[in-house]
Structure formats: C-alpha cells, structure tokens
Amino acid sequence: MKNQPTPLPTSREQPILSLNAFTGARAALAPDIAALVERRVRSFGAGSVLFYDEPLKIVRAEGAYLHASDGRAYLDFYNNVPTVGHCHPKVVEAVQRQIGAFNIHSRYLFDIAHDYAEKLLATFPPALSNVVLTCTGSESNDLALRLAARTSGGTGFIVTRTAYHGNTAAVTEVSPSSYKRGGPPAHVRVVPAPDPALFGNDVAQGFTDAVSAAIAGMEADGIRFAGLLVDTIFSSDGVFADPPGFLQGAVDVAHAAGGLFIADEVQPGFGRTGAGLWGFSRHGVEPDIVTLGKPMGNGYPVAGVVTRPEILSDFCADFGYFNTFAASPVATAAAMAVLEAIEQDGLVANAERVGRHLAGRLRHLQGRTPITAVRGAGLYLGVEFGTQDGPAPDIAKGLINGLKQRGILIGAAGQYGNVLKIRPPLCVTTTHADQLVEAIEDVLAAG
C-alpha cells in the first residue's frame, strides 16, 4: 500500500498477547491441571489462551496474592484489574450489598449511578463533563472511535506500532498487536512508540514528527484524519513514560489537522502512574475523549467514555446508544468502592513511593545484568532486556516462568516481547518490591 509509513515488525509471528501462552505440552502437567486444560480446550477451542508453560489454577485471592491449587500463594506483579487489591473488602461489600438489593438497567433512576458519575467526573478537567458508562474498555474505545469520527468528519486514526486497544471489529483495526497476519487497514496508520532508543534525547519532537508524517501520509491517500489514539503509558509498546509532557506536540499536531486526541486510560488510569489519577494529566495535555476500563471496578465489568457534551450530543443526533449492563447499580457501586478505596488506602501515593523504590532498585541491576532500560511511572514499569545481538525476548520469557517458580507473577510486552511489564495491584509494598528484585536477580544468576 502506498505511503503506509511504518510497516509492522516481521520479527515475530505471534502477537504479544500470546507471548506467555501455554503451548500445549500437556504431558508434563499435574493430572488435575492436565484434565482441566483438556476440558478447556474442548469447550473454548482456539479461543483458549492460558498463561504459563504450567498453567496456574486459582482457588482464592486476597490483596497482592493469588492462591493456587498447588498450595502456594503467588505474589501478583502482573494483574492491574484488581487494582485496589484482590477481593478488596470495600468492593466485595459494595457488590454483595447491591446485588442483594436490586440490579437493573439505567433507563430507571437510582442514586448510586449519579453519585458515581459525579465523583468520577470531578477528577477530570471541567470541559470533560459527560460520561457514557459501558461494560468494557473495548466498548469504550469502540464508542470513542465513533465519537471522534463524527466530530472530525474523518475516518483515519493513528496509533502506535504495538498498540492494543481492545477486541471489537473496529477496535481490533486500531490494535496492531492483535494481528497475526498482515497489518491494519488503510485508514489506520501506525507510528513508532515514543522510544528514546529510536528518537534519542528529543522523544517529544521525534514522536510529534512521526504523528505529523502519518497524518500527511494518510491525507495524501485521500483519507481524512479523525484522531490520535494512544494509551498514555504505551504499555503494550513496552512502557514509555518520560519525559512527562512529551505528548503535547503530538496532541497539538492532531488538533491542528482537525483530529481529536483520545487518551486510552485503560492501562495507566485510576492512579497507577503515581501522579494523579490519569496518565494524560501527567503529560499536562487535555484529551477530547478519555476511555476507561480494566481497573475501574476491580474486576466487575464496568468501563466508560468521558468527553465534552457537544461531542456526545452530535453523535447521539445520528445514533441511538444504550448499554444494558452498564451504569447498573451493581456496576456503579463497585466502581464507587474502587474510587473510595484508592482515596482511603492512599494508593496513588503508594504507587509513587513503591514504584520509585522498585525502579531505583531495578536500575541498580543495569550494567551487571542484561537489563538495558527501566522505564515507566509509579507502578507501571517496563524492564527491557537485550544482548549484543539486540532485543532478548527469551530472557523475558525465562524470567516469567522463573519468577513463577519463585512465587511471583509477571508478564511481558513490547514490539519484540523483551520488556517485563510490572503492574501489580496498587497495594503492594516496598517489601514486595524487594522480593521481586531479589527474585529477578536470582533467576538471572541461575541463567
């Protein structure tokens, strides 16, 4: 295709999502696990994606720990959905209470949906004063694309090269990491992640120029630009957070070209970066549309889109939009409990403090280990591995399984799958962080 600016990487055939996948060597499994995997493959078929060479069977969870059927407690440095901690008492109590009282769609009135909407919106810039609640981050990004297309009059979107924004038909098109064959369609253009290894000292200018070139390429092909959609911590690209503010130029370029800026806060949102609740505010930029998901209900399916009233009303003039399970009393009670737990447990400050401690200790390993970079903010860290031959996904994969043997859960990301992705429940402590660092050292030493 003419002017497709950045071809997809050809160095891997599998999407990042399956980097840590169970590959089917069932003979080595414990009999109860093997039997469950067998049943799973029969029912879920090709849709079955499991973690680990030896999948874990979970039987209980609490705080920062998942308890497995092997009798061990695993320290969870992977799961960002249970963001205030597994089975947080506040969330558990809120869901238990509300599901016993009533659970109905939002074409009727009830207090909790509006108490929550107001508490949530108070955390955003005043212009972003409307919220549409949905059930999943995918539904949120799907709606965001439609809002941006309607407001801009365009159809073209720009995303980063290894982005993941969700699983609907429209959102998969803007999620290059989901493609196992080929690349995105013509209306989707990819730019490199804001990687210092690529752009050197001026990530801001480099990323701005890349977005600018992508818009120009799109327009040269007769495709009108609709918006720039980024996860503001660039998680599946390998975690890129610094320097704060580097997003401003790209947002300005998008606006100047008549497009919208959509901040996907599914990964960094709800306090994870340790610098306020939202990843975009750390960059000092104001999105036109913000999408929310995973951590919003600590595992209860609730998500949302926050935007300006006119963006929503223009869209609603063309289409009816209703979401049956969204904005229900149980969903909003769960989400309210999450916001309250973040405040009462001081989780933003904890993310900053523990994240800084952890990043500092990991950076001390650089030089004497194959760690080539430690990036991120708060409790969203990326630890990159490389050798003289380049990116080292095998080291990352070895660590994932080695850490599991040592009772710690973690995952990987990045264009080459060579970046450990650290995003634990926000209740982890510096002691937990020390355990992780020591286990990483131990696995690397064991080779």
Question: Within 12-51, which residues bind a second copy (CB under 8 A)?
Answer: 15, 17-18, 33, 36-37, 39-40, 42-47, 49-51
Closer residue to a second copy in complex, CB, 100/447: 100
| Span 103-142, contacts to a second copy by CB under 8 A | 103-105, 107-111, 113-114, 117-118, 121, 129-132, 135-139, 142
Site for a second copy in 314-333 (CB under 8 A): 315-325, 327-331
Q: How far is CA 314 from CA 132, 133, 146, 253, 447, in A?
A: 14, 18, 11, 23, 58
Cα–Cα distance, 224 to 151 (Å, whole number): 12
Min dist. Cβ of residue 435 to a second copy (A): 20
Contact of 288 with 264, CB cutoff 8 Å: no
Residue 156, interface with a second copy (CB under 8 A)? no
The window from 143-151, 235-243, 252-260, 371-379 that contacts a second copy (CB under 8 A) reads 143-151
Nearest-approach distance from CB 5 to a second copy, in angstroms:
23
Q: Which stretch binds a second copy (CB under 8 A): 153-161, 255-263, 309-317, 345-353?
A: 309-317
223 binds a second copy (CB under 8 A): no
Q: Which is nearer to a second copy, 298 or 418 (CB)?
A: 298
Site for a second copy in 341-380 (CB under 8 A): none
User: Toward a second copy, which CB reaches closer, 42 or 368?
Assistant: 42
Of residues 251 and 426, the one with the C-beta less far from a second copy: 426
Q: Which of 75, 84, 145, 351 binds a second copy (CB under 8 A)?
A: 145
Contact 254, 215 (CB under 8 A): yes
CB of 370 vs a second copy, minimal distance in Å: 26
- Name which of 91 and 392 has its Cβ closer to a second copy: 91
For 183, counting Cβ atoms within 10 Å of its Cβ (0-12 exposed, 13-18 middle, 19+ buried), the class is middle
Whether 262 and 227 have beta carbons less than 8 Å apart is answered as: yes
**Structural tokens at position 366:** 């650089």
Q: Which residues are CB-neighbours of 102 under 8 A, at least 6 positions away?
A: 110, 329
438 binds a second copy (CB under 8 A): no
212 contacts a second copy (rule: CB under 8 A): no
- Tell me how far, at minimum, the Cβ of 169 lies from a second copy, in Å: 4
Region at 89 (left for phi over 0; alpha for psi -120 to 50; beta for the rest):
alpha
Ranges within 166-195 binding a second copy (CB under 8 A): 167-170, 172, 177-181
Distance, CA of 231 to CA of 123 (rounded, Å): 18
Cα(425)–Cα(295) distance, integer angstroms: 9
State how far the Cα of 434 lies from the Cα of 19, in Å rounded to an integer.
Answer: 26
Site string for a second copy, 248-277 (x = CB under 8 A): ------------------------------
How many other CB atoms sit within 10 Å of the CB of residue 125? 16
* The two three-digit tokens of residue 104, written as one number: 């109905």
Q: Which residues contact 256 (CB under 8 A, 6 or more apart)?
A: none
Residue 287 binding a second copy, by CB under 8 A? no
Q: State which residue, 232 or 298, has the beta carbon closest to a second copy.
A: 298
